[in-house]
A and B are shown apart, each in its own frame.
Chain A
Amino acid sequence: MTLEKLILAAVTLSGSKVPVGANVFVCETKDEMDQVAADLEAILDGIAHKLSNGVYIIVKH
């Protein structure tokens, strides 16, 4: 079976909404969040998408 899309990881600010069911990276600041998302994007060969509630998800397309 080939997966068309898969959420590899999620990046969120501490205290805000924490997704369940993926590898979650909790960050302190917005800058840290951007940085972690960029790192994960490069490492996982995915795209960092931003949800309307501010959470980043790294998705493999």
Chain B
Amino acid sequence: MNEYTFSILFGVTVGTLSRIYMFRTDYRQYPTYPHGMVIHLALGFIAAALGALVVPSIMEEEFTAVTFLTLAASQFREVRNMERKTLNEMDSLELVPRGASYIEGIAVTFEGRNYLVIFISFVSSLAYLSINLWAACIAAFLAFLVAKKYMTGSRLGEIAEVEQATVSFDGAGLYVDNIYIMNIGIPVRQQEILKHGLGFVINPKNFDARSTIGNLGQRQAILHDLAISLGVYRDSGTPALVPLIKRDLDDGRIGIFILPQNKSADLAMKVISQVPTLENAIRMPTETKEKGSGQS
């Protein structure tokens, strides 16, 4: 026991607790329970310990000790690779795959959250050592609020409007509203699709959103979340029943076609609005600055 013991313990505890809070095992069922969870809890604990150790090592003028943070960075980058690899391998076994962009988003989140844990435990152990326990509690709370702000991204409902649309056939062509989806030849299959199918149209709210929802990765993420929440009426080897999402070239609207097990249009529209906007898909063409305008 020395003068740093309690500050380190405090930092580690706060950091680990915040990592537990950041877990959201919800409809995605990821991280898997219980072993996937244990791995990330252990990594969260390591991250918290690293963050809490920074301040004592600076105070002891052991500046070289801070270089272990670089070790942490490479360690957590490895976490991202691990998640990406696992999810990619599992993706081919999903009835409706997540898609590479969604996987990358999840992997980046796992890496990013460990850095947030380092930040929280660093701030709280700094406040503990430089002021007192109560200041550390307040600092931990504030750091947690900052981390919370950075851990939640935007949702599709914020950049686009979702409405239900009719599913119809024009000859062999399947349409959602007036957006062409695919060609289904056999009449029996057409009847099946009309009976079970649901169609939705996503209207982008502005020009930026048009590019974002046009991204193929974002579109696949919508289908995956929808299929997870509502179930999907298909099996392997039935490509005609695969949910599809196509774009209206004229105005950038997106037409979604899905055969759900639970044919609830209201629920589906809620799910679509709640789909996360993927970091990799966000485009801001209206933010383009002209070269030489004095802004970079």
Contact = CB atoms under 8 A, between A and B. Distances in A.
A50 interface: yes
A34 B171 contact: no
B239 interface: yes
B78 to A, nearest CB: 30
A47 B188 contact: no
Contacts, number: 43
Q: Chain A's interface: helix, strand, loop or mixed, by majority?
A: mixed
Chain A interface bracket (under 10, 10 to 19, 20 to 34, 35 or more): 10 to 19
B171 to A, nearest CB: 7
Contacts of B187: 34
B185 A49 contact: yes
Contacts of B186: 34, 37-38, 41, 48, 50, 56
Interface in A27-60: 34, 37-38, 41-42, 45-50, 52, 56, 60
Interface in B233-285: 236-240
A19 to B, nearest CB: 14
A38 B171 contact: no
B223 to A, nearest CB: 15
A41 B188 contact: no
B257 to A, nearest CB: 14
Given A38-B188, A41-B186, A52 B239 contact: no
B240 A47 contact: yes
16 contacts: A34-B186, A37-B185, A37-B186, A38-B189, A41-B186, A41-B240, A45-B236, A45-B237, A46-B239, A47-B183, A47-B185, A47-B240, A48-B184, A48-B186, A49-B184, A60-B239
Interface of A: 34, 37-38, 41-42, 45-50, 52, 56, 60-61
